[in-house]
Amino acid sequence: MRSKWMLCTVVALTSAAYAKDPKAYQSGKLVQMDSVQCGTAEKDGKSKKTHELLCQEYVLESEHVAYRIRPRDEKHPVLLPISDRAQFRIEKDKILLRVEDADNKEHEYTVVSMTPRTDSNAADAAPARVNHLQ
């Protein structure tokens, strides 16, 4: 009986040691929100009327990358505050985002595009070289 208890304890400690830690959050800033066309809706009936469906698309800037993201839940999207700091982590094909000033819950977003950030301030801060021959 005692050997079974020891075996269970060793297995439990070993599995706990190899368990994956959740990925750490990255910090970013929501800088822009646009309404973009994401489909069309058609009303049934005698007259076939269609209208464009609009989706929210946000620009989330991290330290090195600017992400364009859309909410995965298109029926009940959460409106996020612009110019607020956000915490996010990337998991497989989605970004899990939470904004502390909003509801502090994680919401799933799809990445539409990613572009590397180029700061114009870094180029302005570089010292100008003066040509001594002039």
End-to-end C-alpha distance for the chain, whole angstroms: 91
The pLDDT tens digits for 38-50 are 877 777 666 677 8
Contacts of residue 39, defined as CB under 8 A and 6 or more positions apart, other chains included, come to 52, 53
Domain containing 34 equals 22-113
Confidence (pLDDT) at 126: 46
Confidence (pLDDT) at 37: 87
Rounded distance between C-alpha atoms, residue 7 and residue 23, angstroms:
30
131 is a domain residue? no
126 is a domain residue? no
**Stated pTM of the model:** 0.65
43 is a domain residue? yes
Confidence (pLDDT) at 83: 85
33 is a domain residue? yes
130 is a domain residue? no
67 is a domain residue? yes
Q: How many domains does the chain have?
A: 1
From first to last of its 134 residues, what are the pLDDT tens digits of the chain? 666 666 556 566 555 555 555 668 899 999 999 988 887 777 766 667 787 888 899 999 999 999 999 998 877 788 888 888 899 999 888 999 988 777 778 889 999 999 998 875 444 444 445 555 54
